[in-house]
């Protein structure tokens, strides 16, 4: 329902909105805060299982020590989930901004507007920004559409979201400007540009 619409429109549909709409359709009006709390409870098991790759925090520290600005943009159907993840995994001190597609105006990657928003916030032209991601469909395409460079992190697990569709294999928009296997390769990659 909501996810399919979000994929088609590139406007996020939050779990909170979807739950509130379902309750309304069956004639239930939830008290203030109940839907929000239900969503937090729903996501808690997943959040408790999150882990950071061992090279993540060290890479963020290295980038910040070299005076690179570092932020996070994530497609997520809950307003707080990305912020909670960044705090729990100890990324938050190194990231500004932290942005979820569930936050207004709810742009989803690969919509270039969410990437351009970050460029405007940083007062940088998009061509001076490199976006690192693991999903070509969202990260590489979106960054390129916004005029940014794109780095694909490919740890070799061949996850479904990392696959490039056969009809896009030769499309430059889908091709990363660099591919790294470990995050520790990112500082060297961006400094070479």
The 3 state secondary structure assigned to the chain is CHHHHHHHHCECCCHHHHHHHHHHHCCCCCCCCHHHHHHHHHHHHHHHHCCCCCCHHHHHHHHHHCCCCCCEEECCCCCCHHHHHHHHCCCHHHCCCEEECCCCCCECCCCHHHHHHHHHHHCCCHHHCEEEECCHHHHHHHHHHCCCEEEEECCCCCCHHHCCCHHHCCCHHHCCCEEECCHHHHHHHHHCC
Domain residue extents for the chain: 49-191
Cis peptide before 89 (omega within 30 of 0): no
Neighbouring CB atoms inside 10 A of 190's CB total 17
Beta-bridge partner residues of 133:
152
For residue 74, the surrounding DSSP H or E stretch is: strand 72-74
Whether pLDDT at 1 is above 60: no
pLDDT digits (tens, 9 = 90+) for 30-87: 888 899 999 999 999 999 899 999 999 999 999 999 999 999 999 999 988 999 999 9
Beta-bridge partner residues of 107:
11
Mean pLDDT of the chain: 93
pLDDT digits (tens, 9 = 90+) for 140-160: 999 999 999 999 999 988 676
Pick the CATH number of 49-191 from 3.40.50.1000, 3.60.110.10, 3.40.50.300, 2.40.420.20: 3.40.50.1000
Percent residues over pLDDT 90 in the chain: 77
């Amino acid at each position: 329902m909501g996810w399919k619409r979000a994929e088609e429109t590139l406007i996020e549909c939050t779990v909170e909105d979807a739950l509130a709409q379902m309750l309304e359709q069956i004639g239930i009006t939830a008290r203030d805060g109940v839907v929000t709390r239900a969503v937090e409870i729903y996501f808690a098991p997943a959040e408790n299982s999150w882990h950071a790759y061992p090279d993540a925090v060290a890479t963020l520290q290295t980038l910040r020590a070299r005076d690179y600005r570092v932020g996070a943009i994530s497609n997520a159907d809950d307003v707080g989930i990305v912020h909670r993840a960044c705090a729990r995994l100890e990324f938050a001190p190194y990231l500004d901004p932290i942005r979820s597609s569930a936050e207004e105006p709810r742009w989803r990657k690969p919509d270039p507007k969410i990437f351009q928003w970050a460029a405007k916030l940083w007062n940088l032209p998009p061509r001076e920004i490199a976006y690192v991601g693991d999903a070509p469909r969202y990260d590489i395409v979106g960054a390129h559409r916004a005029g940014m460079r794109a780095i694909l992190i490919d740890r070799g697990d061949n996850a479904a979201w990392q696959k490039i569709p056969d009809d896009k294999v030769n499309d430059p928009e889908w091709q990363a400007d660099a591919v790294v296997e470990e995050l520790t390769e990112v500082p060297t990659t961006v400094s070479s540009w």
